[in-house]
Amino acid sequence: MIKIRLIAVGKVKEKYFSEAILEYCKRLNGYCEFSLIEVKEENFKNPSPADIKKILSVEGERIENAIKGYPIALAIEGKKVSSEDLAKKIKTLTDRGEGEICFIIGGSYGIDERVKGLCREKVSFSDMTFPHTLMRVMTTEQLYRAFAINAGSEYHK
């Protein structure tokens, strides 16, 4: 069974987001070995550009330490994919023997360029910017949808 790892910066504070993420995690475990890894978020009040660079670097190191398998960054400049495209990507990687796929969601300031350089691909859900905690809900749902598509489930109409 394929392992899917979602690395995300920070903790989810909103109960409604946490409940949604937990529901999709539970559903995903029927299709894959899913794990959500939260790395510590750096908090600065009114950070300067130099502070932001340091934040990205420190968070990037934490992300780097958690990467396993085939890393994919979720980044606004990445390739836009549909739900069907994501399903095909997961199927292709699984069929060619990748044992683990690792999706990465950055913190408030994004993902350090060094980490993006380590990733095999960059994927974008939209040109819009979303809160990083909401992206966890969206990503877990889209991963579940991708597996449902590949399984021929009614979930994806």
- The full set of domain ranges for the chain reads 3-151
pLDDT at 157: 65
Q: Is pLDDT at 156 greater than 90 in this prediction?
A: no
The C-alpha angle 3, 146, 67, rounded to 5 degrees, equals: 35
Which of these CATH numbers, 3.40.1280.10, 3.30.413.10, 3.40.50.720, 3.40.220.10, describes 3-151? 3.40.1280.10
155 or 50, higher pLDDT? 50
CA dist., res. 53 & res. 19, Å (int): 32
Question: In 3D, which of 11, 60, 56 has the Cα closest to residue 37?
Answer: 11
pTM over 0.75: yes
pLDDT band at residue 25 under the 50/70/90 scheme: very high
CA dist., res. 152 & res. 138, Å (int): 21
Task: Note the pLDDT tens digit of each residue in 59-106.
Answer: 999 999 999 999 999 999 999 999 999 999 999 999 999 999 999 999
24 or 43, higher pLDDT? 24
